[in-house]
Amino acid sequence: MKPSHIEHIGIAVSNLETSINFYEKVLGLKCYNIEEVADQKVKTAFIMVGETKIELLESTDPEGPVGKFIEKRGEGIHHIAFAVEKIEDHLEYAETMGVKLIDHTPRKGAEGLDIAFLHPKSTSGVLIELCQSKTSRRQK
Ligand code: CMX
């Protein structure tokens, strides 16, 4: 039981359009999707570089997780997301290993993924997201 790959790297940004411009105009990459995740109080933009996905996160509410993060720390890397197959098993195991869970059960994230977060205080200061696609759920 281990993650198969890094599903995405989440970057907190003040302005989605400005950041997309950087990735497109300076790095020559392409934003392929913009999606609002109301539950997480963010608007997200997705960019692929090779097999790695970058998720730009603009807050839609200053009291949301990304709004608070930017207020406290400014723009920057916000989380790393690992792709897993049996997300509930990973959460249960992490908890038995003493990790503080933010989500005890998965919730719906962008692009239809089931997602759950581990608290950065238990993970050397990095907010870790576990995510599972519908496809891998069907294969369970
Ligand atoms: N990475 C590392 N540390 C973080 C962090 C992050 N992304 N966000 C907050 N922290 C730290 C803060 O700096 C603070 O540390 P200190 O106590 O040393 O100052 C501590 O965690 C508490 O921070 P806070 O501002 O008081 O915020 P909360 O405790 O209210 O919430 C957290 C922190 C991580 C529990 C909350 O942001 C959360 O639930 N995150 C998960 C959901 C999320 O981030 N959603 C957005 C992404 C959605 C998506 O990818 O679709």
pLDDT in tens, 69-95: 999 999 999 999 999 999 999 999 999
- pLDDT, tens only, 100-123: 999 999 999 888 899 999 999 999
Q: How many CB atoms lie within 10 A of CB 116?
A: 23
Residue among 79, 128, 130 whose CB has most ligand 1 atoms within 8 A, to mutate: 79
* C-alpha dihedral sign at 52, 120, 66, 133: positive
Take atom 12 of ligand 1 and give the residue whose Cα is closest.
69
pTM: predicted TM-score of the whole model, two decimal places: 0.94
What is the pLDDT confidence band of residue 135, given thresholds at 50, 70 and 90? low
Pocket of ligand 1 contains residue 101 by CB under 6 Å: no
| DSSP 8-state secondary structure symbol assigned to residue 51 | T
Q: How far is CA 121 from CA 19, 107, 113, 131, 137, in A?
A: 28, 21, 24, 19, 29
pLDDT tens for 41-52 read: 999 999 999 989
Q: Does ligand 1 have an atom closer than 6 angstroms to the CB of 125? A: yes
